Amino acid sequence: MARVLFENVTKEFGSVKAVNDVSLEIQDGELLCLLGPSGCGKTTTLRLIAGLETATSGRIHIGDTDVTRFSPKDRDVGMVFQDYALYPHMNLADNIAYPLKVRKVREAARMERAKEVADHLRIGHLMERLPGQISGGQQQRTSVARAVVHEPRVFLFDEPLSNLDAKLRLESRGFIKHLQQEMGVTAVYVTHDQAEAMALADRIAVMQDGVIVQIGSPLEIYRNPQTSFVANFLGSPPMNLFDAEVRNGSFVGSSFELDAKGVKEHSALNDGDSVTLGIRPEHVRVSPKPMKNSIASELYAFEALGPESILSFRIDEQLLVARAFGDDPPEIEMGQTAYLSFEPRHLHLFNEHGSRVNAD
Amino acid sequence: MNLPKYVLARIGFYVFVVIVATAFALPLLWLLLAPFGRQATLAVRIPSEPTLANFVSVFRNAFAMRALFVNSIIQAVGAMLLITAVATLTAYSLSRIRLPGRDMFVYMLILFSSVVTGSAAMVPIFLLIFELGLIDSHTGVILVFTGGLLPVAIFIMRDFMQSLPKSYEESALVNGASTLQMLRHVVLPLTRPGMMVIGIWAFVNVWGSFLIPFILLRSPDRMPAATATYSFYTEAGTPVITLVSAYALLYILPVLALYLFVNWRYGFQFFGGIKS
Ligand SMILES: Nc1ncnc2c1ncn2[C@@H]1O[C@H](COP(=O)(O)OP(=O)(O)O)[C@@H](O)[C@H]1O
Ligand SMILES: [Mg+2]
């Protein structure tokens, strides 16, 4: 149990900066999710903690120890690999007990401990099987069991659920969260699935091109995305983003005009500024009757998902997605014109560089 | 599909298969039957009065027995161990370490290998081994075979190693293993099927080769079985077919035994990646 500290860590592969000057503190007992699109440097960050990559520059601490130059075996971490990496020639008992075996724990003691962990993860009855003879979900549990069997100071997970089907993924997500809290161990969890990150994390670090663009609790990031990239990456369906220009107290887009009255951030903008307007689907109000300060558009697609409905409207080349909760969605026919409006406080503003515009 | 046409196609196919199978099976059948016949014949027929006399004369030939059960074994096993060990280590480093021109290196090796065991290089090889003072020694034969077979062995092993996910080794390291423990506990067991294939392949190649030992060896008591077959020729140079076939039957037994042993002990199954 220990915190993990990154100080200006950079990792280069030739000319590619996979991790670019990252500073980060992961608190003791916290579950931090590294979230970002494929290729943004999540796995590299995780491998830097494990010692499978060595930082080009910067320092990494686990607990009070500077482990920057330590080899993996001296770092005392447990890692669940994306492909599980269970040794195919060892049965589950030997797989799970492996970290104890190399730590010179006696055969009887390590088998007892392996059995205990396996029972806890409900795979205790499979100890004699080879990894090839159990299901994907059981393989995943086995790799978790092997990662926790020696009670490491840090857990590392690299997209551990990406090989499971949707139903099993939900179940495993709950079980990982429970296990981590029960053991109170610091954990770093890599995923590109925003829902997984939202569900699991104490804090999320959103990565883009080797840089952490925002870090905070899931709700903080969801409510106050600091860049249009983060805004678009979290939430499903993602936030609607539309380009507009500030003109005489209004936001003027290619085919709409919205009064900026009531939008606090407007005070920080000047006439002629380009902005990106962001609105979450759940904050779009859909009305069949004309409304003041709204965007008129025809219904393009309608998806009834049960507890919620997704309505898409076409605005020029883009779709604006609205989400209505409950069993009675707005009564609009395909092709019928609807009027879309939002409360000013729900509008997110980003400048032309994609950074959030805050009120003065 | 139209039924008669389909049936005809099937029949044609079976006839073809039977012809091909017969072409391969006949020599083997001859090899199984001829040693038990009294008369030399090239026909495949069950001997009317089976006899073990041919085997008795073969066993009495001390030169041929020593060739088969001592010299051939020394040379084939020696080359097999050397080739497997060196190919495994080389292939492992080639598959795990990034080197510029790594693939080029392997392809060049392959190219050269066909030269080493080819007959065109026999004179230079003879001279080289002569200069090294290894003429008429098991070591010389083993080294030449190793040189000739190693590149292909490395190529096959490297392919095999590259198909092993690196995450096995990485997870061993993260789990606390030292590099040596990782090699012993994880890499070696996973590589064993590949080593078996290379080992048997090398053994069979050396076992069946005639030219290299024939050129490099002089003393009768170092000759392997492939060259010792000549001792069953008459002085006029024609083979005594009854004896040659009996010797040939004995000649394939060690290969068969090796194959069965490996298959029984380790099996030829491959542990691929785990499917999920
Ligand atoms: N061993 C490597 N050699 C060269 N480039 C690499 C290596 N590992 C990762 N990269 C590059 O670094 C970047 C980040 O990769 P990675 O950390 O795997 O991303 P993620 O896990 O977020 O998908 C990518 O551009 C990738 O191509
Ligand atoms: Mg990754």
Q: What pLDDT is attached to residue B105?
A: 80
Residue B272 lies in a domain: no
Q: In terms of residue numbers, what domain contains B34? A: 5-51
Mean pLDDT of A230-253: 93
Quick one: residue A226, left, alpha or beta (phi over 0 = left, psi -120 to 50 = alpha)?
alpha
Mean pLDDT of A134-140: 93
- Going by their DSSP bridges, the two strands A308-315 and A211-216 should be labelled as unpaired
- Separation CA A306–CA A182 (nearest Å): 34
Residue B270 lies in a domain: no
**Sheet with A4-13: strands ordered across:** A16-26, A4-13, A57-62, A65-66
Residue B193 lies in a domain: yes
Helix residue spans in chain A (DSSP H)? 42-50, 92-101, 107-120, 136-148, 166-183, 194-200, 218-223, 228-233
- Separation CA A303–CA A300 (nearest Å): 10
Helix (H, G, I), strand (E, B) or coil at A292: coil
Q: What pLDDT is attached to residue B268?
A: 58
- Sequence-distant (≥ 6) Cβ neighbours of residue B53 within 8 angstroms: B38
Are both B36 and B137 inside the same structural domain? no
Q: What pLDDT is attached to residue B272?
A: 43
Tell which of A13, A73, A142 to mutate to test the B interface (max B CBs under 10 Å). Answer: A73
- pLDDT (tens digit per residue) in A5-22: 999 999 999 999 999 999
Are both B40 and B68 inside the same structural domain? no
Contact B107, B152 (CB under 8 A): no
DSSP annotation string for B26-48: HHHHHHHHGGG-SS--SS----S
Contact A305, A321 (CB under 8 A): no
Q: Which residues of B touch A (CB under 8 A)?
A: 165, 167-168, 170-178, 181, 185-186, 189-190, 271-276
Helix (H, G, I), strand (E, B) or coil at A350: strand
Flag whether pLDDT at A185 surpasses 60. yes
Q: What pLDDT is attached to residue B172?
A: 97
Q: What is the pLDDT along chain B (276 residues), one digit of tens a residue?
A: 577 888 999 999 999 999 999 999 988 888 888 888 888 777 777 888 888 888 999 999 999 999 999 999 999 999 999 999 999 999 998 888 877 887 788 788 777 776 766 677 888 889 999 999 999 999 999 999 998 899 889 988 998 998 899 999 999 999 999 999 999 999 999 998 889 889 999 999 999 999 899 999 999 899 999 998 888 888 887 888 889 899 999 999 999 998 888 888 776 554 443 333
pLDDT band at A1 (very low <50, low <70, confident <90, very high): low
Query: Tokens in use for A308?
Result: 């919620």
Q: CA of B170: which chain A residue's CA is closest?
A: A52
> Which among B141, B1, B72, B84 has a CA at the least distance from the CA of B262?
B84
Mean pLDDT of A57-62: 97
Helix (H, G, I), strand (E, B) or coil at A360: coil
Q: What pLDDT is attached to residue B1?
A: 56
Ligand 2 centroid to residue A172 C-alpha, Å: 19
Q: What pLDDT is attached to residue A87?
A: 96
State how far residue A218 is from chain B, nearest Cα, in angstroms: 29
Query: Tokens in use for A128?
Result: 């004699």
Are both B226 and B118 inside the same structural domain? yes
Q: What pLDDT is attached to residue A186?
A: 95
Query: Tokens in use for A272?
Result: 């002629």
> Which among A133, A158, A139 has a CA at the least distance from the CA of A96?
A139
In eight-state DSSP terms, residue B239 is B
Are both B151 and B211 inside the same structural domain? yes
Are both B36 and B126 inside the same structural domain? no
> Distance between the two ends of chain A, CA-based, in angstroms?
42
Residue B175 CA, distance from chain mean position? 39
Residue B72 lies in a domain: yes
CB-ligand 1 contact for A15 (6 Å cutoff): no
Query: Tokens in use for B101?
Result: 């021109």
Q: What angle, 0 to 180 degrees and rounded to 10, lies between the N-to-C axes of helices B102-116 and B138-162?
A: 140
Are both B65 and B200 inside the same structural domain? yes
- Separation CA A25–CA A23 (nearest Å): 7
Residue B151 lies in a domain: yes
- Distances, alpha carbon B224 to alpha carbons B71, B220, B227, in Å: 5, 9, 6
- Tokens 């009757």 -> residue: A289
Are both B75 and B179 inside the same structural domain? yes
Q: Which residues of B fall within a CB distance of 8 Å from A101?
A: 185
CB-ligand 1 contact for A227 (6 Å cutoff): no
Q: Which of B167, B181, B272 sits opposite A102 (nearest CB)?
A: B181
Q: CA of B171: which chain A residue's CA is closest?
A: A85
Query: Tokens in use for A229?
Result: 């990239």
- Sequence-distant (≥ 6) Cβ neighbours of residue A174 within 8 angstroms: none
Are both B19 and B123 inside the same structural domain? no
Mean pLDDT of A127-141: 94
Instruction: Choose one of A13, A38, A48, A191 to mutate for the ligand 1 pocket test, by most ligand atoms within 8 angstroms of C-beta.
Output: A13
Are both B39 and B82 inside the same structural domain? no
Are both B98 and B229 inside the same structural domain? yes
Query: What number does the ligand 1 atom closest to the CA of A42 have?
Result: 22
**Sheet with A77-80: strands ordered across:** A77-80, A154-158, A186-191, A31-35, A203-208, A211-216
Domain boundary among B51, B74, B89: B51
- Separation CA A114–CA B161 (nearest Å): 30
Q: What angle, 0 to 180 degrees and rounded to 10, lies between the N-to-C axes of helices A136-148 and A166-183?
A: 20
Contact A139, A131 (CB under 8 A): yes
Q: What pLDDT is attached to residue B274?
A: 38
Largest CA distance in chain B: 72
> Which among A232, A217, A241 has a CA at the least distance from the CA of A349?
A241
Domain boundary among B14, B29, B51: B51
Q: What pLDDT is attached to residue B76?
A: 96
ipTM given for this complex: 0.87
CA pseudo-torsion sign A69, A176, A139, A234: negative
Q: CA of B193: which chain A residue's CA is closest?
A: A89
Query: Tokens in use for B20?
Result: 């091909």
**Sheet with A337-341: strands ordered across:** A285-287, A337-341, A295-304, A308-315, A318-325
Q: Which of A44-53, A98-107, A141-150, B117-126 has the weakest average pLDDT?
A: B117-126
- Sequence-distant (≥ 6) Cβ neighbours of residue A210 within 8 angstroms: A17, A18, A19, A20, A22, A40, A41, A44
Tell which of B163, B170, B174 to mutate to test the A interface (max A CBs under 10 Å). Answer: B174
Q: What pLDDT is attached to residue B273?
A: 39
Residue B271 lies in a domain: no
Are both B20 and B108 inside the same structural domain? no
Helix (H, G, I), strand (E, B) or coil at A79: strand
Count CA atoms within 13 Å of residue A37 on its CB side.
Answer: 6
As for how many domains chain B has, the answer is 2
b (16+ CB within 10 A) / e for A135-152: ebbbbbbbbbbbbbbbeb
Query: Tokens in use for B57?
Result: 């004369």
Residue B168 lies in a domain: yes
**Count of residues in chain A:** 360
- Tokens 């409900």 -> residue: A122
Residue B274 lies in a domain: no
Are both B71 and B45 inside the same structural domain? no
Contact B272 A88 (CB under 8 A): yes
- Separation CA B25–CA A206 (nearest Å): 67
Q: What is the CATH number of the domain that holds B130?
A: 1.10.3720.10
Residue B7 CA, distance from chain mean position? 41
- pLDDT (tens digit per residue) in A190-233: 999 999 999 999 999 999 999 999 999 999 999 999 999 999 99
